[in-house]
Amino acid sequence: MVLLLFLATAAVCAVIDVPLLTRGSRRRDLLVWGLFWITGIGVVVCSLYKINVPSPLLLVMMIYKPVNNLFTSWFY
């Protein structure tokens, strides 16, 4: 029930926002808006259904650790 209420609210917001973004040459803005919108809806659905999702910070740590080790080997 809560998911349907959320999706209905999201649909109303999309109906208001999309025509404003399609006017003129705002295709890139529409694409970015859509990506953020889909990501936000996915996060809310995972939260409502209590789906455990790994933290995005783990990806940042996985990328940063080799760089940190490289700088450590250079300066220590």
What tens digit of pLDDT does each residue of 5-55 get? Answer: 989 999 999 999 888 888 877 788 889 999 999 999 999 999 889 999 888
User: How much is the pLDDT for 23?
Assistant: 81
Which is higher by pLDDT, 1 or 73? 73
Does the predicted TM-score (pTM) go above 0.85? no
What tens digit of pLDDT does each residue of 53-65 get? Answer: 888 899 999 999 9
Mean pLDDT in residue range 65-69:
93
- Residue with the two structure tokens 């259904």: 49
- Residue ranges of E strands in 1-76: none
Q: Which of 18, 53, 24 is nearest to 10 (CA)?
A: 18
